[in-house]
Structure 1
């Protein structure tokens, strides 16, 4: 599923999809969100809307099939980590309760606190993507452009496998879960996306000794992107990055820039 245009429908979204939605203005947002949830009721999904029922979220949910979760009303420590745990728990429960899947619409305006950083966004969304990939769930993370500056929206979009919204906000690359202990990289990593790529790789390296990046769908990584990759690996002594299935152009550029050096903790393998 790949949609990247203004006014796009969420209808193609299916089980296992994790979508960054650059949310449109209120009226269009409500219409599109309502259709997404209505599809869920028709297909027999368990529905969860995360975010308080503000005017922009006047969405009718069947009492037996859906729930609203208001982070502001939680008694203890709601944060982005809570969404990861909640999706995992509710996806497991949905199957036992006879639902086809868990269908989530998350209003990130209401989840992220003021002053959120690209690092926090990348860490949370990557962990959420790993959970979704191994469960009967689909999650749409709605990021309103009026609330999130371009760097945060770009970071969020780069760590989702799918993006819905205006093409101007679409990232040039994506990093997303490829299964246990493995991450896919697709698109083009260039100077414009180097900072977001560095943040994503750095957050993944914090939790593993060997980071596997599958790059069969990586079209190009330029000098800035390669430098970013080498610097991220060097910042974690004793940890390595394995780049799998890189195309001939990527491998050749890596050699020409002299990164195929044993002192660089990044290895390109077939």
Structure 2
């Protein structure tokens, strides 16, 4: 989990606590080297959490100086809590601004959020939060590794959360809906929206709530969208129609352009395609982030 930037937002699904600790250690060590304040959030007592990352070079000194911190999920959230999406973003924005005011280059956090997405209500609120905080990260020096235990949650729930991140480990989600940052685009969509994932696609649109522009067009950056089924297009057109607009898939796949013609979807337009290479980590192109 190395080499990520000051705006990156990662979903990492793990199978053991040891795997999570290893990825978090890499991610936070990079942050310390980059001059960011880092925060480790997981289940357990703060003293035990601090000891979990002692393999990170300079970790004890960072804890003493305030460059690093730990927080217990149990001490931060009540049991079976449903987060307030907007307020949660405000909390991390304030922590980011505080880090900047104290001379750091930003804030980087690694959090095991498994306990916050166990119920359907929790998932809906947290998925909305993930999209809102991704929008904040697009222009602010906040980066996050959001970790979820696959053995506790199961693949279906993992997909519900992973699809709201620009970056996820392989197999976590078939598609992603995230903030991006490309000028003129309400959101970014990438991956594959096929028959098996179209129900989740409908939920993801509702959680993200991208809005049409002043010309009543819902413009989506689709450069990373490899495929969208006819049902996916119909759901997208209906979403835009309910909000009084049409849909533009900017740099969308040619197959989507053909489908819109076959289906007669006058409210959907696919702009010329400019494909971008994708890697196994499902990373958002740098141009999608405002630096």
Q: Same fold (TM over 0.5)?
A: yes
Tell me the TM-score normalised to structure 2 length: 0.75
Cα 1:136–1:241 change in 2 (3 A) is: same
Cα 1:74–1:249 change in 2 (3 A) is: closer
- Correspondence 1:246 to 2:252: yes
- Correspondence 1:19 to 2:24: no
| SS of equivalent to 2:11 | strand
Task: Show the counterpart of 2:285.
Answer: none
Residue number among 221, 233, 237 corresponding to 2:228 in the alignment: 221
Deviations along 1:190-247, one digit per CA (max 9) or x if unpaired, are 112212211121233376675321112222211121122123334x253443332323
Cα 1:268–1:43 change in 2 (3 A) is: closer
Deviations along 1:81-138, one digit per CA (max 9) or x if unpaired, are 3432222112222222111221111211243454445533431211111011111121
**Number of residue pairs matched by the alignment:** 253
Task: Show the counterpart of 1:202.
Answer: 206
Task: Show the counterpart of 2:238.
Answer: 231
Please give the alpha-carbon distance, in whole angstroms, between the structure 2 residues aligned to 1:224 and 1:70. 42
Task: Show the counterpart of 1:73.
Answer: 75
Task: Show the counterpart of 2:172.
Answer: 170
Please give the alpha-carbon distance, in whole angstroms, between the structure 1 residues aligned to 2:248 and 2:196. 23
Cα 1:150–1:94 change in 2 (3 A) is: same
Q: Structure 1 stretch 169-178 or stretch 74-83: which is displaced more?
A: 74-83
Q: Do the aligned partners of 1:51 and 1:110 also contact (CA within 8 Å) in 2?
A: no
Residue number among 75, 88, 91 corresponding to 2:93 in the alignment: 88
Deviation at 1:56, TM superposition (A): 7.4
Q: Do the aligned partners of 1:22 and 1:142 also contact (CA within 8 Å) in 2?
A: yes
Structure 1, unmatched stretches of 5+, are 1-9
RMSD: 2.8
Please give the alpha-carbon distance, in whole angstroms, between the structure 2 residues aligned to 1:232 and 1:175. 14
Residue number among 8, 25, 40 corresponding to 2:31 in the alignment: 40
